[in-house]
Copies of this chain bind each other. A is one copy, B any other.
Amino acid sequence: MPLKTSHCNSCLFKTICDRTIGKEDFDDLYRSTTFQIFRKGEIILRQHMKMSNLVFLHTGIVKFCYNNYGKDIILTIDKAPTLLGLANYLNNNVNFFSIIAIEDCEGCMIDEDVFQRILTNNPSFALQALNSFTNMFRQSMQSFISLSYNQVQGRIANILVFLSKHIYESSVFRLPLTRKEIAQFAGCSTENVINTLRKFDHDGIIRINGKEIEILDEKGLQLVCRMG
């Protein structure tokens, strides 16, 4: 609870809201939120569960998981700051998928009723929420296309580019996923991930050392995305 106070003064969510909703509405929203820490591996939203919360993620990285007849699939990765649960909210609060912390995260639980009230009273806030949803949709679309119509090499190359550009914004980063999780993301076997990553290393496109990854030849990697 003391954390909440210290955070909220500089809270990005507040900053965003300030531009689109009034002080009164924000205070309403504010009173309904509770600060929460999620440890690595913890489930923030669980697939098929009915939720009455959205979560504004302040720090951390999460994975969107879908369990398909017992098989786990990773749909996408997202990082703070971001609003989680919008797609679920639009789906009668029944969660499409699970959202799981892949590193320690901090977030604020937002009451769904309050959120709904503000949404219907503030066209510009609604529009912004819609925009955020559209962006997620477009991102999903891109993954979708990469995953469905490329070979494994192209899919893994796409995942590396995605992590580099959208999550870490750097050509050097520490893989947040295990090889098995990359396989669940790329829709292939774990061995295939290992072999493909090693091939990229041998070809001089990336340098890999355990979980440390450096993209050496971005143009080459982009080419694999398209052709692979």
- Write the residues of chain A forming the contact surface with B, with a CB cutoff of 8 angstroms: 66, 68-69, 71, 73, 75, 87, 90-91, 96, 120, 123, 126-127, 130-131, 133-134, 137-138, 140-141, 143-145, 147-149, 187, 226
Contact = CB atoms under 8 A, between A and B. Distances in A.
A51 B136 CA distance: 21
A187 B149 contact: yes
Please list the 5 inter-chain residue pairs (A to B) with the smallest Cβ-Cβ separation, ordered nearest first. A147-B148, A144-B144, A90-B134, A148-B187, A149-B187
Contacts of A91: 134, 138
Contacts of A138: 91, 96
A146 to B, nearest CB: 9
Q: Which of A69, A126, A130, A137 has the most CB of B within 10 A?
A: A137
A144 B66 CA distance: 11
Given A73-B145, A75-B141, A87-B134, 17 more contacts: A66-B145, A68-B149, A69-B226, A73-B148, A87-B137, A90-B130, A90-B134, A133-B133, A140-B140, A140-B141, A143-B144, A144-B144, A144-B147, A144-B148, A147-B147, A148-B148, A149-B187
A140 B75 CA distance: 12
23 contacts: A68-B145, A69-B226, A73-B148, A75-B141, A75-B144, A75-B145, A87-B134, A87-B137, A90-B130, A90-B131, A90-B134, A91-B134, A96-B138, A96-B141, A120-B127, A123-B126, A137-B140, A140-B140, A140-B141, A144-B147, A147-B147, A147-B148, A148-B148
A144 B134 contact: no
Nearest to A70: B226
A140 B87 CA distance: 13
